[in-house]
DNA sequence: TGCGTTACTAACGTCAAAGGTATGTATTTT
DNA sequence: AAAATACATACCTTTGACGTTAGTAACGCA
């Protein structure tokens, strides 16, 4: 198994939505009433997708808020896993006390 | 439509996992290597489920990290929606510039 | 009875990040 | 030329995630 580069939600926003649809970050900011800085930082992977952001995106793009939060979750989970492998290995599955 | 009380993830942790399985918050903290305060605050709805928490829970309970983060997402989305209805109403679906 | 484990809460303190406003600098459009 | 588009940087505030420590209480057992 290769380890995927772990692509962040901002990259998907840009490459799967903005570019194909011909929407600029500026326009997205204006139409969703999100400050430009927030959009800019999300695209650069410096900021997370929150529920507020997810809802605004979902209304504008016509998809679901869970899609956007799901992207963030996947990204977070992958990052945590690769950072704390050993830590997590020490946790054992629940078992009823004997 | 009635508005559901919007149940937070900690409540589900407690009522759907801890109580039925007979696991105390104290034991969960010990076995997942999470400080007790974190568990306590999550159960009381004062703290969110993060990727770290979700992964530890999923290993211990034998389910997925996305399940736990999904609970948090659902909760966040509901809260945002009820708080910012009007704000979101002003956002319009994307349309190609004419 | 007294010690240790279990169980939970409350009170600090730190650091990261989410949020906004303001500003700067191009480029395009009118 | 003026206004709108497009994007980035800097600064500030507030929230919240995190941990450590300390405190209380109840139960188990030797």
B67-84 tens-digit pLDDT: 999 999 999 999 999 999
In a domain, B86, yes or no: no
Q: CB-side exposure of B24: number of CA atoms within 13 Å? A: 5
CA distance A91 to chain B (A): 6
CB contact under 8 A, A94 and B52: no
The Cα–Cα gap between B72 and B52 comes to: 13
φ/ψ of A33, rounded to 5, equals: 65, 40
User: What sign results for the dihedral spanned by CA atoms B52, A53, A55, A43?
Assistant: negative
Which of A22, A62, A81 minimises the CB distance to B55? A81
In a domain, B98, yes or no: no
Query: What string of DSSP letters covers A53-73?
Result: HHHHHHHHHTS-HHHHHHHHH
The Cα–Cα gap between A62 and B14 comes to: 35
CA distance B45 to chain A (A): 17
Q: Are B2 and B82 in contact (CB under 8 A)?
A: no
Closest residue of chain B to A22, computed from CA coordinates = B96
In a domain, B13, yes or no: yes
What is the number of structural domains in chain B? 1
Q: Are A38 and A47 in contact (CB under 8 A)?
A: yes
Structure-block tokens of residue B40 = 């306590």
Q: What is the pLDDT of residues B30-51, one digit of tens each?
A: 999 999 999 999 999 999 999 9
Which of A31, A52, A80 minimises the CB distance to B52? A80
What is the mean pLDDT of the segment spanning B87-95? 94
| CATH (domain of B30) | 1.10.260.40
Q: Are B12 and B78 in contact (CB under 8 A)?
A: no
* Structure confidence at residue A97 (pLDDT): 59
Q: What is the pLDDT of residues A11-70, one digit of tens each?
A: 999 999 999 999 999 999 999 999 999 999 999 999 999 999 999 999 999 999 999 999
In a domain, B93, yes or no: no
In a domain, A18, yes or no: yes
Closest to A75 in 3D by CA, of A21, A22, A29, A8 = A8
Spanning CA of B76 to C1' of C5, the rounded length in angstroms is 38
In a domain, B48, yes or no: yes
Could you list the residue range(s) of the whole structural domain that residue A75 is in? 9-84
* Structure confidence at residue A57 (pLDDT): 98
In a domain, B56, yes or no: yes
* Structure confidence at residue B76 (pLDDT): 97
In a domain, B72, yes or no: no
* Structure confidence at residue B96 (pLDDT): 77
Residue B98 has pLDDT above 70, yes or no: no
């Amino acid at each position: 198994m290769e380890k995927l580069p772990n692509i962040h939600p901002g990259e998907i926003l840009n490459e799967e939505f903005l570019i194909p649809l011909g929407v600029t970050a500026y326009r997205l900011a204006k139409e969703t009433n999100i400050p430009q800085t927030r959009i800019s930082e999300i695209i650069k992977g410096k900021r997370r997708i929150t529920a507020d952001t997810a809802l605004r995106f979902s209304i504008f793009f016509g998809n679901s808020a869970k899609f956007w939060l799901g992207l963030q979750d996947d990204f977070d989970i992958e990052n945590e896993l690769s950072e704390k492998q050993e830590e997590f290995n020490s946790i054992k599955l629940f078992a009823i006390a004997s």
